[in-house]
């Protein structure tokens, strides 16, 4: 398995971890009647549960582009030091993003997000050269 695919696999496992750590406070906040109900009305989370949910949703969005980048690099056999480094930078940024979002560090959270996004863009551009 390439380093990029390893980073992608770990990013997917991070998404699982984010779901689990979000589900516990969300279930406590909303209660079983709402979480096991038909959800005809959207469930609104606030506080810690809300921040964890938004961080999880943000990772889903970023994971789509990162997955495309990794697949293009892998299928076209264009792995390089730049793409490997970018893949690991993306993963580290996503790991750091969760606590940055939870503790609401504002500008740092945005900078961490930007670093992960930039790493993905670098991989996509590397695939074109």
pTM of the model: 0.91
CA angle 115, 121, 125 (to 5 degrees): 145
Residue 98, pLDDT score: 95
pLDDT in tens, 17-59: 999 999 999 889 988 888 888 878 887 888 999 999 999 999 9
Q: Using alpha carbons, list the distances in angstroms from residue 4 to 20, 26, 70, 106, 110.
A: 25, 32, 6, 29, 24
* Nearest residue to 59 via CA among 22, 107, 33, 105: 22
């Amino acid at each position: 398995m390439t380093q990029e695919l390893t980073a992608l696999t770990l990013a997917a496992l991070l998404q699982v971890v984010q779901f689990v750590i979000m589900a516990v406070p969300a279930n406590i906040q909303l209660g079983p009647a709402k979480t096991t109900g038909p959800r005809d009305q959207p469930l609104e989370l606030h506080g810690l549960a809300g921040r964890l949910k938004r961080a999880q949703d943000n990772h889903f969005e970023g994971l789509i582009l990162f997955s495309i980048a990794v697949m293009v690099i892998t299928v076209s056999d264009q792995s390089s030091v730049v793409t490997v480094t970018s893949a690991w930078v993306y993963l580290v940024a996503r790991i750091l993003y969760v606590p940055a979002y939870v503790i609401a560090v504002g500008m740092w959270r945005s900078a961490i997000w930007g670093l992960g996004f930039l790493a993905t863009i670098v991989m996509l551009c590397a695939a074109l050269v």
